[in-house]
Structure 1
Amino acid sequence: MTHFVLVAGARLGAWAWDETAAELRAAGHDVHPLTLSGLAEKQGVLAGQQTHVQDIVGEVERLGLRDVVLVGHSYAGVPVGQAAERIGDRLRRVVFVDANVPVDGETFLSGWPSDPVREAIAAGGGFWPRATAAYYADQDLTDEQIARIVAGSTPHPGATLTEPAVLTRPLSELPATYVKCLLDGDEPRPVVAELLESERWERVDMDTGHWPMFSQPRELARVLHESAAKG
């Protein structure tokens, strides 16, 4: 049995995986959607990035999981990538779903104009405010799905976006799948493109937007199932 630990991106909690998790369970997998500190039912905590890394490592260790597939969507790719190397031989595979990846010494905001985000965090008392419905337009989401995301979102702890990642070995050494959602751009960021040159990494494309757990939950579950089978 494969054990999945699913971590959604900024502003989201474990609830975002409800439909995909149900599909994976129906296929016989053990599935653990995880809410990171400061989000959803854990909102209000001024968590840092390493808090989120430890959230993930701690969940794997608390449950005594082995043969683990760690799945990180969007922002969550940064702490998931760090956690993947820290759980050692418990890891089966790491899957990045249209995600950022950690780069040692760099932050989530590195490599793109971040002043508006930093200003929003400062104005939000240390939290990145929730996005409006317009933020989710043109990403293969119905009005109902967008309304659900907006209603369920919570402000995101700003320090998780501004603190640097810490890696002890090249991310290219991990067995990994990168899921590229094509409506969010045809090509991944250069750092991901370089990682995809590793023989241990594979790319899978999905013809949908940045939030496939809402727009194509069954197809995403199939991708995760097939990725786990590759070990």
Structure 2
Amino acid sequence: MVNFVLVAGARLGAWAWDEVVPYLRAAGHGVHPVTLSGLADKRGVPAGQQIHVQDIVDEVERKDLRDVVLVGHSYSGIPVGQAAERIGDRLARVVFVDSSVPTDGESFASAWPDGGAELKASIAENGGFWPLVPAAHYDGQGLTDEQIARIVGGSTPHPGASLTEPAVLARPLGDLPSTYIKCLLAGAEPSDDVAKLLTSDHWRLVELDTGHWPMFSQPRELAQLFLAGAGE
């Protein structure tokens, strides 16, 4: 048995994994979806990136989890990648789901054009939060209208500091046993930083023929990939 710790991307909470969780539990594994500070039912809690890292570490340590598979989707790959090296021998594997990956000294915004100037302006104009996006933002990603409505209805503005604070890594991310799941409707090729990490013997690439929110569009297939990776 392994323990899956699931962290969804920007604007989402633990609820985003509701359709994935039953498949993992049916296979006999522990499943622990995490809501990061400032989001969903934790809305209103002050939150920067290092607080999000600590949210994940605290979940593992508070429940004394072992054989942990940390899963980070989209933005949450950045705090998950940092938390992975901080939980030591509790870690079995990291799974990055179509996600950003942390680079020491760089932020989520750093990968954006002009160093994230437009993103930072949006955060400043919206009281320190990355605002919600309209339903049309999710078009072309393999989602039904009902699934899009669920995402939009459950989303909360994302704490801006978590997107602009730099990551802190003590050792190369390529040293961690990792799987990167590339969702093909969001772009066929991994980003340059991910492609570089995939040259490591510790990393492997898996492709999923769906969009950027596979926990909604293909929850069963996503769970199967998690289970396949846990069996390695």
Give the TM-score range, shorter chain.
Answer: over 0.9
Structure 2 residue ranges without an equivalent (≥5): none
> 2:8 is aligned with what amino acid?
A
Q: Are positions 1:218 and 2:220 aligned together?
A: yes
Deviations 1:175-203, CA, capped at 9 Å, x for gaps: 00000000000011101000000011000
C-alpha contact 1:46 1:126 (8 A) present in aligned 2: no
Partner SS, residue 115 of structure 1: helix
Quote the residue 1:148 is aligned against.
150
C-alpha contact 1:11 1:153 (8 A) present in aligned 2: yes
Deviation for aligned residue 1:44: 1.3
Quote the residue 2:68 is aligned against.
68
Q: TM-score, normalised by structure 1?
A: 0.98
Deviation for aligned residue 1:122: 0.6
Deviations 1:69-102, CA, capped at 9 Å, x for gaps: 0000000000000000000000000000000000
Percentage of matched positions with identical amino acids: 70
Q: TM-score, normalised by structure 2?
A: 0.98
| Structure 1 segment 63-212 matched on structure 2, within 5 A | 63-113=63-113, 114-212=116-214
Distance 2:28 2:19 in 1: 15
Distance 2:111 2:93 in 1: 26
Partner SS, residue 220 of structure 1: helix
Partner SS, residue 110 of structure 2: coil
Distance 2:124 2:174 in 1: 34
Distance 1:228 1:77 in 2: 18
Structure 1 residue ranges without an equivalent (≥5): none
Number of equivalences: 230
Quote the residue 2:38 is aligned against.
38
Structure 1 stretches (4+) deviating beyond 4 angstroms? none
Deviation for aligned residue 1:115: 2.2
> 2:194 is aligned with what amino acid?
V
Partner SS, residue 212 of structure 2: coil
Distance 1:52 1:190 in 2: 25
C-alpha contact 1:107 1:161 (8 A) present in aligned 2: yes
Distance 1:183 1:56 in 2: 28
